[in-house]
Structure 1
């Protein structure tokens, strides 16, 4: 039994580093690499792409709102055509960097506020799905199962990959607890590892109100910018290995 482990990487900017990209690349099987709109600069992104290629880690384009100051975590009410163009631009930029590193962009994952918006925002969901399809209809998209983004993607024939979050709390409706709320981000590595195993083995997760909600898991995300991200990813790998589950890119 295998499961994909992914992390958001390449989110430093200039002299400011964020997260431990090299250490995370030793643990994950897929790297959601920033595209310069919410985070990342060209030189840093090329370094991450090269490091991922050296380790055989898949590269995904992590597209987001053009919001460096807000780290892409603020909703922007964009015209759908403008949003599509910006997503196409981001995929294209990272594709060039990945190619220069001897690899390629093999999937797309929205970031931050855009990720959360297209769970329910139909116009933006269609805009993102249309952008991916316009670049390459064979590119899978990572997202939240049951989202309108998945519906829009599937209508266009895109492959959807259901993602679960190791270090984020869930609401009873299956969406993520906003980061502005207490306990939205989980910290205890061992508890997180146990939680991930339950998600995979029992297809359920405990929501923030204590209820049990169903969850589909094809890829597990550990946020690279979370405190203790390397320890969390390592704990998740150990716990899964104890149960005979091995990390591997989604097929």
Structure 2
């Protein structure tokens, strides 16, 4: 076994910190949306990809709230830290659906894809994330956000393992569930190490490092059984697999409702 410290920035990348979903008619939906909605999402996407923090935060109400506990100040701090770690990060926002709730008030559902790289002295980390979320937009500002689904993947190495992950997206309180990760490539005598980690989705410890113990995997994957919390919640469930030629960290959000 091996022990390392990984932060939530690796395990629960939380790229949904800014995720302002995809279907065949997404383009039609966007074209039919009010001009104000199209403007906000277009300018937000540009500002985020430019890492212009002041411009991004101008699209959020100072009373902003989210299902993960982020308020306006925590969102700003988290984005600043994330962009320092991934200085070339880019965002693509698709509008999936919208509904008018009154003058200058809309409910939106979007899909945001995120890509970026982080260069360290000993390795380069590549981040990809896919987030579906629901926002409330009032007078051109996002007042609240709920993440509906989230998958992020962090890879490094010359030939990182290819994973197939089987995990429910929603659970009922107290439900028992299986979490299976299969490495697609044959082992061919190579060693695998891995671990499965479950964490709360909170703003408080977003980048807090945690010690992780890796086990030597005797088969081509990880097979775990977990139990959902007794109360409604959201959890980050991550699988980490290491091979001599690369590492993959795949994180998915599970909603308990």
TM-score (norm 2): 0.27
Greater fraction helix? 1
Rg larger in 1 or in 2?
A: 2
TM-score (norm 1): 0.27
Greater fraction strand? 2
